[in-house]
Amino acid sequence: MEASWKRSLGVGTLFFLFSRLWVFLAILAAARFLPLKAPWSLDNPLLAPLCRWDSGWYLDIINNGYHYAGGQQTAFNVAFFPLYPLSVKLLSQATHLSAPLVGLFLSNLFLWMALALFHFLVSEESEKSEKFEGLANRATFFLAFFPTTVFFSSLYTESLFLLLTLLSFRALRKKKFLLFGLFGGLASGTRLVGLALALPGLFALLQEKKPRLLIGLMLLPLGLFLYMTYLWLAFRDPLAFVQASQAPEWRRSLGIPWLELLKAPFLSLKGIFSGDFEGSCVNFWFLPLFGTALFSLWNRENSGDERSYSLYLIAGSLVPLASNNLDSLSRYLMVLFPAYVAMAAWSKGNRLFRLAAGHRLGLARLPVRGPLQPRLLGRLIILEVPPTP
């Protein structure tokens, strides 16, 4: 099926609305049956569930700016990159609305845009490769309903980072290499893992050998470079974010990724027997999922585009694995969008998956109208039934 912005916008909007409704209901149920005592939280009962944990650091940056006194024994907010809190602060000042409200609005706006763009990107790939045919709806479904999807709607950087990496990848596909570097540079100003875009960029350079792509690659670390320049001017330490991340609260330091992989099963078992299902215990189980996705995207029969997806997945996974700490790994991996394409490929032709996601969730009987034309949502997501003309 030919890629259509109108159709992708419709699918993205549909999955956004249903997934956010699911998140909202889950939050209500959790607040009622599983009350969580976070170390920091808002007093507003409506905003508090989506403004916990690291959200406090972002709000501190927005309200008070960056602060750092050196050393590794105390946590400082310089560990968090500036683009997201800066965007929230500018819009909050322009609209005179509270920073938490503006931050949640932007996070959900970025997610909505990312879902539509992701669907369109996979639809475009299906025009060039039969392997991608019919995967756009499934892949978007997995992205929208991923187990840690709540972070996409929270006062976190996930939605913005996902959108910027998708924009950077599409620019690379369209050979708009300066835009590739510009969006990638913004991504590196959002999270350090934005530098992972360099690997698919270098792979494309070997194939294209275009000078403009080399310029685009040079723009990728722009966001990181500007932030380090600010840290040097403000605190005389361009690596203050590295020092701050080594505080006892985060315990992150440079490690060897495969050693973390070897330790992960033992940490997982330790968590199970001790009754602690947080941290490494939970996050470990995302490693086989994304590892299998990686191997399914990389083989001798795959095209260059598919291999660039694999390279991004490799680089994006190595950054958190090299931090000597598996905490929040599921959140770091959830923004690596090529994994959802692989998950969609697994579900194709899987009868058990169709039954579970279609009929068991009640999605197969839900009518869809508008840009999608009358058809069943279950068919769009899972069932291999040709669309209605």
Most confident of 4-13, 36-45, 240-249, 340-349: 4-13
> pLDDT at position 276, please?
52
> pLDDT at position 48, please?
76
> pLDDT at position 42, please?
65
pLDDT tens track for 76-110? 889 899 999 999 999 999 999 989 999 999 999 99
3-class secondary-structure state, position 129: coil
- Is residue 160 within 8 A of residue 111, CB to CB? The reply is no
Most confident of 21-30, 48-57, 170-179, 282-291: 170-179
pTM of the shown model: 0.82
Residue 345: pLDDT above 80?
A: no
> pLDDT at position 343, please?
78
Spans of all domains in the chain: 255-334, 349-389
Task: Tell me the percentage of the chain whose pLDDT exceeds 70.
Answer: 65
pLDDT tens track for 257-303? 556 666 666 655 655 555 555 544 455 555 555 555 555 555 545 55
> pLDDT at position 40, please?
56
Q: What would the two tokens of residue 202 be?
A: 């270098």
- Please give the residue that has the higher pLDDT: either 360 or 327: 327
Residue 375: pLDDT above 80?
A: no
- Is residue 160 within 8 A of residue 117, CB to CB? The reply is no
Average pLDDT, integer, range 152-176 = 94
Q: Could you tell me which residues come within 8 angstroms of residue 21 by beta carbon, excluding any fewer than 6 positions away?
A: none
Residue 312: pLDDT above 60?
A: yes
- Please give the residue that has the higher pLDDT: either 344 or 366: 344
Q: What would the two tokens of residue 360 be?
A: 């068991």
> pLDDT at position 328, please?
72
User: 72-97 burial, b for 16+ CB within 10 Å, e for fewer?
Assistant: eeeebbbbbbbbbbebbbeebeeeee
Residue 20: pLDDT above 80?
A: yes
